[in-house]
Structure 1
Amino acid sequence: MDQDMATTLDIARGNPNAATLPGTQGLRPAPVAESVAEPEKPTLIGLTREDMAAALSGIGVPQKQLRMRVAQLWHWLYVRGVSDFAAMTNIAKDLRGLLAEHFLIARPQIISEQVSVDGTRKWLFQFPPRGAGRPVEVETVYIPEEGRGTLCVSSQVGCTLTCTFCHTGTQKLVRNLTSEEILSQILMARDRLGDFPDAETPQGAAVPSEGRLVSNIVMMGMGEPLYNFENVKTALLIASDGDGLSLSKRRITLSTSGVVPEIARTGDEIGCMLAISLHAVRDDLRDILVPINKKWNIKALLDACRAYPGLSNAKRITFEYVMLKGVNDSDADARELVRLLRGIPAKINLIPFNPWPGSEYECSDWERIEEFADIVNRAGYASPIRTPRGRDIFAACGQLKSASERMRKKDRDAAAQVAAG
Structure 2
Amino acid sequence: MGHDLRRVRVGRLGVDRAAALEVVDELVGERGRVIAGGDDDPRTAGDRGRALGQIRRHDQDLEPFGELVEREEAHAYPQTRTRDPLLEAVEDRQLRRRELASERADDRGDESGAGRRCCHTSVPVEDSQARDLATRAAFRAGRLAIARLGDPGYLRWKGLRDVVPEAAMLVQDEIVSLIRAECPNDAFLLEEGPEDEPLDVGAERLWIVDPICGSLNFVHGIPFFAISIALRVAGQLRVGVVYDPMRDECFAANIGEPAYLNNRPITVPTMSQGPEFWEQSWVGTDLPYDGPLRKEAIRVFDLHAKEVQSLSIMGSCALGLCYVACGRLNVYWTLDAKPWDVAGAGVVLQAAGGLLTDPEGGSWLYSTGGYVAGNPSLHQWALRAIKYVKQHPDP
Q: TM-score by structure 2 length?
A: 0.29
Q: TM-score by structure 1 length?
A: 0.27
